[in-house]
Amino acid sequence: MTPMEDYCDGSTQWSYVKSSLVGFVVTVALSAIVHKLLWKGLWIPLRYRRIMAKQGVKGPPFRFLVGQLHEMWKYRDSFPDAVPLDSYADLSPTVTPQYALFFPKFPGEKYFLYWWGKSSRLVVRDPEIAKEVFITNHASMRRILPEDPFLTRLIGKGVLLHTGEKWVIERRTISPFFHHDALKGMVEAMVEGTQTEMHKWEQMVAQGGGSAEIDMEPDVHKISGRILSLTAFSGDYERGVTVYELQKEIASEYYKMIRSIGFWLIPRYRDIPTKKHRYMNKMASKIDALLLELINGRLEAVRNGEANSYGNDLLGRMLKAAGEGWNEEKEEFNLASVLNNCKLFYFAGQDTVANAILYMMLMLALHPTWQDRARQEVMEVVGDEEHVDVGMLSHLKVVEMVAKETLRCFSPAPVMTRSATTDLQLEKLFIPKGLTVEFAITAVHQDKEYWGEDVAEFNPERFANGVSAACSHPQAFAPFGLGPKFCVGNNFAMMEMKIIVSRVLRRFQLLPSPNYQHHPTTLMALIRPKYGMPIILKAL
């Protein structure tokens, strides 16, 4: 055989070996993907179903990979643009369709098992079990971290998502900003944050001859965003608006994406460089750039001697406590922690309060007797004074009752979820490690067993003597969560609700608009009106 023939023969053999190696690697990779898919998508869910079935826990049929998601979405989409607004005990089918679908199929049951994609979820509407899970055994439960890292990038892997010692450190760092003494100093800023929209509404009402129909949704979000900027980020309002709008746009696109079958069947589907995915990445990078500019601006001002401190707002307090470095995996509170919590508060800190206020205004418009009572109280406590202080707010008992009843009917976060980090034996149930427990807040808030026969009615009087007298179980009211990980900004939110609504009641009568389409929905797991909140304002 000639040297050339030897060379060709060797080349052919080497090509064969290379192709065989490539084929082997591809086969191994595909086998690993299939194994992981079957393990997470089939074996584990069926194991949970067997364990819970032995305890008498019922539920809809298991469906590989997608679970009940498409059934839930189809059911939710079956409702018209305007759903009836005559009962506050309908299990909120356009918000939590899983409760409206499955609780009626298992009458008398306080829990059922269903599947959110590959995730097995035990839905619980028993506040005693919720107490055991979220309070007594909170150390054995962790928040569910999104499998898609893009989602954590969007909302920030801050105090909301961290667990263990990392959560303890972040909570300890952020909590002082929301203590009573700190909140007292925010009242003036909250009042200032309402001024622009209040003047706008007064002008529109005057131009309308004494009344005007106004879509309150964008304006109330502006107020809430301005208040957040003034109290937490020293008035950088325009940046806050841009960040929030980008977050909202990305969240909307993300939730469209998860309704595609490819999201559930194709590993790392969101990493496929489609035009939409590239656009979402670009928007997320803009958010990072805006917040990094804000953070670095504070850091440089102190380093260059242009400022004596980082400031006394939330950002300043975080920067003062932060160590150097941007590694978010480290346990310490560092600059990555600052960035992540800025994202979280820009989104959740604005959305939860603004939407609660919108539904509170709707309830006052629909229930004029309670509107009159609330207005009379505001005039007696605040009068025509522009100045408002914490002492005045503490005397707005009727306004607080209306706020709490609104939160019962339209809880900002309709569900709470935790995953067991170890096998857990409760009084009534055994929870295997890895199973997700979903506390059905909307279902519990609408359960006559805990709230009485008038649970379907809007009745703030139930809170006249506080939450403990309003319901038969202390954990049956959970608009801001339960246990050590309840919402750190709950007192901030209640104060903002009182200030905004009381200032509206001093100037206007709220009337329901015939153009309002009642259709509560969710975005990033937070309740919101799908078609805005038009309300008629009439000058007093």
Residues of each annotated binding site for heme: 487
Distance of CA 354 to the CA centre of its chain: 12
Burial bucket for residue 107 (CB in 10 Å: 0-12, 13-18, 19+): exposed
Residue 418 — φ and ψ, nearest 5°? -145, 150
The strands making up 111-116's β-sheet, listed across from edge to edge, are 111-116, 119-124, 436-440, 415-420, 141-142
Residues that constitute the known binding site? 487
How do 415-420 and 141-142 pair as beta strands?
antiparallel
User: Would you call 60 helix, strand, or coil by DSSP?
Assistant: coil
**Residue 297 CB neighbour total at 10 angstroms:** 12
67, 438 in Cβ contact below 8 A? no
Distance of CA 418 to the CA centre of its chain: 14
Q: Which of 408, 358, 415 is nearest to 88 (CA)?
A: 408
What's the half-sphere exposure (Cβ side, CA atoms, 13 Å) at 56? 6
Distance of CA 347 to the CA centre of its chain: 9
Residue 424, amino acid? L
95, 442 in Cβ contact below 8 A? yes
Contacts of 320 (CB under 8 A, 6+ apart): 309, 310
